[in-house]
């Protein structure tokens, strides 16, 4: 059952646990002090088995843990999570399930991904796209422009300290869950965990990321059952191929008035008069980085 949430979950750039001040000098040799994100190690256990140690800002360890397991196909959507225990001192999170899982075999098939922070993917992740059927949905260009404007102007950890990626779950043009982390895959996984915990229906949602539209990003979006993926950054060839294979709407280089759709174009409804759309400010153009992120 889908739950109705009273308010969106947005970034907390003023949280003192997420950044620290560091002193240095600027290009003129003058003293300077800036805020930088704080990376923390988080070791994830599934029942009694150690799975992975992630570097994260660790603002939502429960969501990150559950989302990681779901997106790595180590938890099934019908698995019952009986508890999530987090110990801040030990930097450990333990996810407990009602029934046993097959994670031992999956650990043997671990491979390195192209994502930031040395993320891992497992050999059977392609299971997500073999028989995937994404829901029918539409992407109105009015929603797209409203969504990107709100995201680019929302106070965030990136605007406060930089060196961060953002992912946002939206309904029509309205963000409902905005997560950030040092690696874009962590941000994706936190949204997946949030959706699982709150019973969010993915059928009418749009997923936005500041990172590249790679094969892993497409696979994770499909695993979450979301039919539309948008980014301000560019594409990889395999990401486009997979999106076309499963019928995912893939929109990249979404900045100001511009965007490029390379898959699932039939979902797009052109209802926005571009004369009323503003180009990005220089500040928002820096948000989230470029195609090299």
The alpha carbon of residue 264 and the mean position of all alpha carbons in its chain are separated, in whole angstroms, by: 20
Average pLDDT of span 273-279: 91
Count Cβ atoms below 10 Å from residue 73 Cβ, excluding itself: 20
Q: 15-32: per-residue pLDDT in tens?
A: 999 999 999 999 999 999
The C-alpha atoms of residue 5 and residue 280 are separated, in whole angstroms, by 30
Average pLDDT of span 195-205: 96
User: What domains can you pick out in the chain, each with its CATH number?
Assistant: 139-285 (3.40.140.10)
Q: What is the pLDDT of residue 59?
A: 97
Please state which of the ranges 5-9, 40-44, 58-62, 260-264 shows the lowest mean pLDDT: 5-9
Q: What is the pLDDT of residue 69?
A: 94
Average pLDDT of span 223-238: 97
Global pTM value: 0.88
DSSP state of 126: G
Scored b (16 or more CB within 10 A) or e, 233-272 reads bbbbeebbebbeebbbbbbbbbbbeebebbbbeebbeeeb
Q: What is the pLDDT of residue 158?
A: 92
DSSP state of 178: E
Reply yes or no on whether the pLDDT at 111 is more than 50: no
pLDDT band at 229 (very low <50, low <70, confident <90, very high): very high
Reply yes or no on whether the pLDDT at 289 is more than 70: no
Q: 244-264: per-residue pLDDT in tens?
A: 999 999 999 999 999 999 999
Q: What is the DSSP string of 201-256?
A: --TTEEEEESS-B-HHHHHHHHHTT-SEEEESS-B-HHHHHHHHHHT-EEEEEEET
Q: What is the pLDDT of residue 102?
A: 63
The alpha carbon of residue 221 and the mean position of all alpha carbons in its chain are separated, in whole angstroms, by: 9
């Amino acid at each position: 059952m889908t739950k109705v949430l009273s308010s969106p979950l947005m970034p907390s750039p003023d949280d003192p646990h997420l950044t620290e001040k560091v002193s240095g000098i600027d290009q003129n040799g003058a003293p300077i002090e800036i805020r930088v994100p704080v990376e923390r190690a988080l070791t994830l256990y599934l029942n009694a088995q150690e799975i992975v140690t992630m570097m994260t800002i660790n603002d939502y360890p429960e969501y990150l843990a559950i989302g990681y397991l779901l997106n790595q196909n180590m938890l099934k959507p019908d698995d019952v999570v009986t508890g999530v225990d987090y110990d801040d001192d030990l930097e450990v999170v333990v996810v407990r399930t009602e029934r046993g899982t097959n994670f031992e075999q999956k650990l043997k098939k671990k491979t390195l991904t192209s994502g930031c922070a040395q993320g891992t993917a497992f050999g059977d992740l392609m299971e997500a796209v073999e028989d995937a059927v994404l829901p029918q949905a539409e992407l109105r260009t009015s929603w797209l422009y409203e969504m990107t404007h709100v995201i680019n102007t929302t106070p965030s950890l990136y605007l406060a300290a930089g060196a961060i990626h953002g992912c946002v779950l939206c309904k029509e043009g309205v963000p409902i869950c905005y997560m950030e982390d040092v690696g874009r895959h962590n941000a994706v996984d936190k949204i997946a965990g949030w959706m699982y915990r709150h019973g969010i229906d993915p059928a009418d949602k749009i997923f936005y990321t500041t990172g590249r539209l790679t094969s892993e990003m497409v696979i994770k979006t499909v695993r979450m059952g979301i039919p539309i993926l948008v980014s301000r950054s560019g594409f990889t060839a395999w990401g486009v191929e997979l999106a076309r294979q499963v019928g995912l709407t893939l929109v990249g280089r979404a900045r100001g008035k511009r965007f490029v759709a390379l898959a699932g174009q039939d979902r797009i409804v052109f209802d926005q008069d571009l004369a009323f759309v503003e180009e990005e400010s220089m500040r928002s153009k820096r948000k989230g980085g470029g195609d090299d992120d």
